[in-house]
Structure 1
Amino acid sequence: MAAPELPPLVDPGYVAGVDLGGTKVRAALADLTGRILVEEAVGTDPRGGAAVTAQIATLVRELAHAAGVAWSDVRTTAVGIPGAHNPTTGAVELAPNVAGFADVDVHDDLVRRLGHAVVLDNDVNMAAFGEQWVGGGRNHRDFVFVAVGTGIGMGIVADGQLIRGATGAAGEICYLPIGTDPFDPANQARGALEEAVAGASLAARYAAASGEETTVPDVFDRAAAGDARARAALDDEARYIALAVVSVAAVLDPEAVVLGGGIGSRAELLEPVRRWVAALRTGGPIVKTSQLGHRAGLIGAVAAARRAAISTGRPRALAHRHGDRISSLNQRRDHR
């Protein structure tokens, strides 16, 4: 399957893409060909809510200034958010990693602060968009993108279309009843699976086995150096991810599963995930590592902003509440 071709350039202008995470905000300014001019990453404001929307607006304006771009020439900003944007209520739900988002109409607040069109979608959906455009989903009509890092989430592309569900929460696999007790209220805020595979949990498993507090990158480093306890912690991580992959495959039957995020995109996890998947079922989807790494969400946001900015002759009038639909991009020729 050829990647979806974005519409041709209609006039000069610029767009911004933002990948909002629980710990970092990544933003980029690009022209309407999708070429990134400048980008920046900063720590997410811990106050959450309106403080984060203000931070995003300030960051995007600073990027335009750094690139020497007049603010009036920035047409659209697309933001990937770590939660589900309900298109009916405007609320951002299921976003435990950013405080206060349930109390703010994130879309309208950003439109007010930026003064132009805003595309808002789940961060993993944005990453799936990026993977479909120029990454590991490029040649698949049916694939899922599974991001594992601070948390876990999934973007679903079925028959070339991004699936969001009735309330925008499709792919919230953090709530799969895998890895920890799903009936324990302590595991219900972030989800049973997320409590098992999130970065903090991986580090905690190693600490419990070794008696040493350490970071997730250090666990990977120690495993590479031959530390048996670090290798066991990573193998447990791979087993939980494989359980999720097999569960998803039973329902969606994707051709491929693309693993991304700060943990999922680590090459060291690919072989053990494949091994555990093979132990659970015969056949199944291709499991591969993201080609875009931590940039998948940012690239997807840039692509979504570009698509929104040039999809009509009135880019400044656009004010999307629910994000760009990959299905509308399926006038397919090879986009290289």
Structure 2
Amino acid sequence: MAAHPRPSGYVAGVDLGGTKLRAALADLDGLIVDEQVQPTDPRGGTAVAAQIDALLRELAVRAGVAWTDVRASAIGLPGVPDPATGAIELSPNVSDLEALDVRAELTRRLGHPVVLDNDVNMAAAGEQWLGSGRTHRHFVFVAVGTGVGMGIVLNGELVRGARGAAGEISYLPLGTDPFDKDNQVKGALEEAVAGAALAARYRAVSGEQASVPDVFDRAAAGDPDALAAIDEEARLIALAVVAVAAVLDPEAVVLGGGIGSRAELVEPVRRWVAALSADAPLIKTSRLGDRAGLLGAVAVARREAGVRDDSPAHRNTSFQTAEGR
């Protein structure tokens, strides 16, 4: 039987965060031809949709690609897309997305099919395609950074749940009082382990202000207060990992995000998980770091454009990162 010809053209991937907007243009083999990072428009809503449109068209111009050759776009967003309305729910870090049919707005602007998904689901798709999930059919991607979330891959497929909110582990009743309404906006676990909480924990024990990268730098230099703050972070993440493993039974847990992907975190998480469970999944660090969501969006856009395999025909050297252990 003759092989089906591979479709031609390009796709766009977008990773929309509360502070940064990452976008990439790639050919259908997965080779990125241009990418850029901008601050996210603080006005949110239609202003962010316009920003995405302008940025993707700018990438096409810079790469010498005709816009009509861009066949599909995929956007990862910090929230849960409602399949009925196209609005984004549970998105406290980008304003006014809950009142906008984001999918329709972007489809109108871009003029081609648009796929929306939670940003952590997109990151899980990236790890599945090119990262630490490549060798696992059952894994979860746990992102810890400004916020907290999880992407679930079971039997090789992303799991989204009845309302698209599967993996919203920020709302696990762990780490802080889940009955306190102040902890119900972002979630009890997120209030305990997100970046602001780690910085506050260090400040509480040391009396000094420090950013999250500074806390890790000070821990590397042997600062006992920084080491204690990171160890407590790992303990709380381990509670979430064991809770997730009890329900989903994954082969592996991939830690990502600005905090989760730090190499210094994986060993204390493993130690705390081992103290809680004798039958723990493999704990790994993201191979793709802060590009997981962007590469996942490219992978999803390729599928939307008709590419039926998940292996790039030729590797972009920018994909090559150290294997998470």
Normalization by structure 2: what TM-score? 0.93
CA distance in 2, matches of 1:204, 1:58: 37
CA distance in 1, matches of 2:311, 2:202: 47
Report if the CA contact (8 A) 1:153-1:173 is conserved. Answer: yes
CA drift at 1:10 = 2.6
Report if the CA contact (8 A) 2:29-2:313 is conserved. Answer: no
Match of 1:14 in 2: 10
CA distance in 1, matches of 2:48, 2:205: 37
Match of 1:189 in 2: 185
Query: RMSD of aligned C-alpha atoms?
Result: 1.7
Find 1:115's aligned residue among 111, 116, 127.
111
Match of 2:173 in 1: 177
Identity of aligned residues (%): 70
Match of 1:305 in 2: 301
Match of 1:287 in 2: 283
Find 1:253's aligned residue among 241, 249, 254.
249
- The amino acid across from 1:173 in the alignment is I
CA distance in 2, matches of 1:299, 1:8: 25
Secondary structure at 2:76 match in 1: strand
- The amino acid across from 2:150 in the alignment is M
Contiguous gaps of at least 5 residues in structure 1? 1-6, 312-328
CA drift at 1:225 = 0.5
Secondary structure at 2:150 match in 1: strand
CA drift at 1:48 = 1.2
Instruction: Write out per-residue CA displacement over residues 201-257 of structure 1, whole angstroms, 9 at most, x where no aligned residue.
Output: 111111122222121101100000111111111111111110000000000000100
After the TM superposition, list the runs of 4 or more consecutive aligned residues in structure 1 that deviate by more than 4 angstroms: 331-336
CA drift at 1:88 = 2.0
Q: How many residues are matched? A: 312
Find 1:132's aligned residue among 124, 128, 132.
128
Match of 1:59 in 2: 55
Q: How does 1:1-336 map to 2 (within 5 A)?
A: 10-311=6-307
CA drift at 1:24 = 0.7
Contiguous gaps of at least 5 residues in structure 2? 315-325
- The amino acid across from 1:100 in the alignment is D
CA distance in 2, matches of 1:240, 1:9: 50
Report if the CA contact (8 A) 1:25-1:43 is conserved. Answer: yes
CA distance in 2, matches of 1:334, 1:114: 25
Question: Greater RCO between the two (CA within 8 Å, min separation 6)?
Answer: 1
CA distance in 1, matches of 2:192, 2:311: 41
